Amino acid sequence: MAILAAQTLCKRYQDGHRSVVALDDVSLEVGAGEIVVVAGRSGAGKSTLLKCLLGLERPDSGTVLLDGKPLSTLDATAKQRYRRTVQPVMQDPGSSLPPRMRIGRLVAEPLRIHRLASGAEIESRVVQALAEVELGPELLSRFPHELSGGQLQRIAIARALIGEPRVLLADEPTSALDVVTGMHVALLLRSLVEKHGLGLVVVTHDAKLAHHLGARVMHMDAGRVTETTSSAQWLGQVRARWEQARS
């Protein structure tokens, strides 16, 4: 059974006198231990879909469901639980993380917001979360500008993990990283999915990232799902187009 699902989502925006279709009858499901990549060029509707799944945008029609229960019917307490259960991993943590907050406090913030721990337990869980993403406790007192891009992305993942979510939604999680570091982050995400039975939805235009994740790929264009492939099929298509362009 799917943990998180979107059923026939539609969303339009007004651009002056013009109506822009962002989502047109889009459906998606992700279960425990599953990885779904949402692929497409800029303007395809990927980010709008992610915002609807996070509850940051309300679709014009269609439904987002957690364990079969519509997000739109949840009361305030249940929506707070939803926000803990479905966690985002942002594209560029260097700009999205508060620059004057030390790493230990940054990672601990979800525990305080959702009242999941207090006192000495907070630091213990922060250290554990850092270990999950292969970082050490020596980073606790540092500021974001003192860390590399790869370290910052791991911090963002640790911050998302610390509240024990069931689904992660990642928006271009390797786009700000070099190829090798991006590959390591992709493999880390895949290992966390396998270890904790998480559902993972990744928005990307990078076929190699999808390949490292071993994901099911949902292709979007102009707000619609055009096809669903395996990551290996997508990478093969990209390579074939590249070879054709070279010849």
Predicted TM-score (pTM) of this structure = 0.91
User: What are 39's two structure tokens?
Assistant: 């692929």
- Chain-centre distance for alpha carbon 195: 17
When pLDDT is averaged across residues 59-68 and rounded to a whole number, the result is: 94
CB-based contact 91:132 (threshold 8 Å): no
Neighbouring residues of 8: CB distance < 8 A, sequence distance ≥ 6: 25, 26, 27, 61, 62, 63
Per cent of the chain over pLDDT 90 is 60
Assign residue 204 the CATH number of its domain.
3.40.50.300
What is the DSSP code (8-state) at residue 162? T
**65-119 pLDDT, tens digit each:** 999 999 988 888 888 889 999 999 987 777 778 888 999 999 999 998 888 888 8
Domain-located, residue 48: yes
Per-residue model confidence (pLDDT) at position 15: 79
Domain with 26 in it: 4-94+165-246
Domain-located, residue 122: no
Domain-located, residue 82: yes
> Distance (Å, rounded) from C-alpha 29 to C-alpha 167?
11
CB-based contact 61:6 (threshold 8 Å): no
Domain-located, residue 142: no
The least confident of 33-37, 60-64, 73-77 is 73-77
Domain-located, residue 90: yes
> Is residue 247 over pLDDT 70?
no
**What's the structural domain count of the chain?**
1
> Distance (Å, rounded) from C-alpha 192 to C-alpha 188?
6
> Distance (Å, rounded) from C-alpha 7 to C-alpha 5?
6
Q: 37's torsion region: left (phi>0), alpha (psi -120 to 50) or beta? A: beta
> Is residue 138 over pLDDT 70?
yes
Domain-located, residue 70: yes
Neighbouring residues of 23: CB distance < 8 A, sequence distance ≥ 6: 9, 10, 11, 45, 48, 49, 52, 59, 62, 223
CA distances from 166 to 82, 98, 133, 162, 227 (A): 10, 25, 17, 11, 26
> Is residue 128 over pLDDT 90?
yes
Domain-located, residue 62: yes
What are residue 218's DSSP bridge partners?
38, 228
Domain-located, residue 177: yes
Instruction: Please give the single-letter amino acid code of residue 76.
Output: A
User: What are 100's two structure tokens?
Assistant: 């004057």
